[in-house]
Amino acid sequence: MELSFSNILLIILLVYAVIPTALTRFCQVGVISRTPKGKGRVILTFDDGPDPRYTPQILDILNRYQVKACFFITGIKARAYPDLIKQITSAGHEIGNHGFRHKAAWLMGPCATTREITETNRTLEELTGRKPRFCRPSWGLFNLFSLWYYWSKGLKVVLWTYMSWDWTKLATPESITRRVLKKIQDGVILIFHDSDSAPCAAPGGPARVMAALPQILEEIKLRGLRVAPLEEIVADKKSKLSFKKIALFIWGLVDRVFRRFAGIKDIEDGKSFIWRLALRRYHGTEWRMPDNSLLKNGDYYIELHFNNDRLWSLTGENPSIERTAIIALREVRNGLPIIARIIKDDKQYGKAKVLLGITLLHRGSERLGFTVYDLKRGFFRTFTGWYEKLLLALFHPGGIKSLKSYRDKLSPKYVVMTRQELMRRYPPVCTPKDEAPRR
């Protein structure tokens, strides 16, 4: 399968933005979108503030009814209105991170995503003296990096059960009240807004919320429910899945979608070999190989991909990256004769002139017959390095902490072997398991 530029963009969009958002928003993986039933509780949350026109009046209503809410604050407004932040916290309400400038995660790279979260956390901690525990991404959108960052820092991601749609142009106090009361029940998390300055927000939305809120709070009480603080819900909510299990679950889904679109094939049953393969055509300037042959524009090559499921199953109990690399090299050595067999017997893969992969685990690969090349500096190298380190942190038992001491050593590089060198070093050996990748 030849990847067009549009296919590559689609794959990047799916993996980086669409799938993480779908898994959290629709499958509720690793996020809080409602509370456990059985205790008659409802959660109130307010987004996009604070705002000097609306937030104090909403606080007065909440105080009158003696209920607590969680305000998801943007960092830029927290800096603009520090007295409002103190007013919210002194009233006993919780404050959460809602990004710094209310930017959509789909439109941000890893560095911008980090800044949005960390700058807001730093601002809120300076103003309140407490590190924020809760976060809600702007627009409820995620990217792959934002999910990883939230969970790795121990932040609780809080979404919602139902929207009040108070930010729309057609919203009225009556429509907000009607929508909320129609959905209100034990365990729901409701979302309102105490600011109308976010993109697409209709002017005056929070004023309509203020008009609707007293009736909503009265009805909650009449139905035998109570408004509970968010910290109470989180305190008695026991997570059944660890961060790593959640991340592995998400990555498994992302990886399957990516491989399907990218034409990356399993060898045999997909469980017994370290390799996954993709047949590609080379597009670029002539590349001179170690044996002086040339990889020319339009030539076929086999793109090598680690089977991370196989590698993880073999290294799950090993504490060091060196040990992981040794096991990977052993599996690579055992798998190369299989690839030679595939090239010999399969017409499509037989067109390949070169084996080519990109990996952090390149140390020692020269002994197997590969030649190692540096990647050119630029976006591709930076993105690939981040992606490979994320994978290694995810699949390695030591996780992110174990990578800190290796930061300078972990640089992605090309590993290349010509077809002639493969056949010379690893002549095909017929075994019962040998067969071409599944199509």
Task: List, in order of start, the domains of the chain with CATH numbers.
Answer: 31-235 (3.20.20.370), 264-425 (no CATH)
Question: pLDDT category, 260, cuts 50, 70, 90?
Answer: confident
Q: Looking at 171-264, which runs of residues are DSSP E strands?
A: 189-193, 226-227
Task: Compute the distance between CA of residue 19 and CA of residue 25 in angstroms, rounded to an integer.
Answer: 10
Task: Decide if 51 contacts 206 (C-beta within 8 A).
Answer: yes
Residue-wise pLDDT for 107-156, tens only, equals 998 889 999 999 999 999 999 999 999 999 999 999 988 988 898 788 99
CA distances to 34, 139, 144, 308 from 19, rounded to whole Å, are: 21, 15, 8, 19
> Could you tell me what percent of the chain has a pLDDT over 90?
56
pLDDT at 383 (0 to 100): 67
Question: pLDDT category, 210, cuts 50, 70, 90?
Answer: very high
Residue-wise pLDDT for 306-362, tens only, equals 887 787 777 665 556 667 777 878 888 888 999 999 999 999 999 999 999 988 778
Question: pLDDT category, 240, cuts 50, 70, 90?
Answer: very low
Q: Which tokens in the block code for residue 78?
A: 């927290």
Residue-wise pLDDT for 38-51, tens only, equals 999 999 999 999 99
Task: Compute the distance between CA of residue 394 and CA of residue 391 in angstroms, rounded to an integer.
Answer: 5
Question: Is the full-model pTM beyond 0.85?
Answer: no
Q: Which tokens in the block code for residue 73?
A: 């604050």
The identity of residue 416, as a single letter, is: V
pLDDT at 410 (0 to 100): 66
Residue-wise pLDDT for 273-301, tens only, equals 888 999 999 998 999 998 899 999 999 99
Residue 14 has pLDDT above 70, yes or no: yes
pLDDT at 355 (0 to 100): 96
Q: If you average pLDDT over every residue of the chain, what do you get?
A: 85
Q: How far from the centroid of its chain's Cα atoms is residue 139's Cα? A: 16
> Could you tell me what percent of the chain has a pLDDT over 70?
83
pLDDT at 272 (0 to 100): 78
Residue-wise pLDDT for 21-80, tens only, equals 988 888 888 899 999 889 999 999 999 999 999 999 999 999 999 999 999 999 999 999
pLDDT at 390 (0 to 100): 66
pLDDT at 365 (0 to 100): 87
pLDDT at 122 (0 to 100): 96
